[in-house]
Amino acid sequence: GAVVSQHPSRVICKSGTSVKIECRSLDFQATTMFWYRQFPKKSLMLMATSNEGSKATYEQGVEKDKFLINHASLTLSTLTVTSAHPEDSSFYICSAIDRGWKDEQYFGPGTRLTVT
């Protein structure tokens, strides 16, 4: 099956710094990638939709200047958490779809961000 990787799997950063999370589709071209956030024992909340070569579409309540998304190629999307604060600590998960195949989304393993 299709594989999506995320890097890093865990990151600890100091308050005020920025952190970049990478999402890669390893064996297919992802025309669309999604970024989710998940709090402990809660469901996934969609943050934004990232389309290759165009600006990301953010969900209501998600600050686009805080969570910068870049989808520079068909296999890579990045999420940068700028000026991180402790409340940004969460589990961030990306997913990707290949429109040429199915409606199925392939999820990455997630990135645990802790801001101290």
Partner 1 sequence: SQKIEQNSEALNIQEGKTATLTCNYTNYSPAYLQWYRQDPGRGPVFLLLIRENEKEKRKERLKVTFDTTLKQSLFHITASQPADSATYLCALEGNTDKLIFGTGTRLQVFP
Which of 82-114 are b and which e, b meaning 16 or more Cβ less than 10 Å from the residue's Cβ? eebeeebbbbbbbbbbbeeeeeebbebebbebe
* Interface pick for partner 1 out of 13, 44, 74, 76 (rule CB under 8 A): 44
Residues 70-99 that bind partner 1 (CB under 8 A): 91, 93, 95, 97
Q: Which stretch binds partner 1 (CB under 8 A): 14-22, 45-53, 64-72, 81-89?
A: 45-53
For residues 90 and 33, give the distance between their C-alpha atoms in angstroms, rounded to a whole number.
19
Q: Which residues of the chain form contacts with partner 1 (CB under 8 A)?
A: 4, 6, 32, 34, 42-46, 49, 91, 93, 95, 97, 102-110, 112
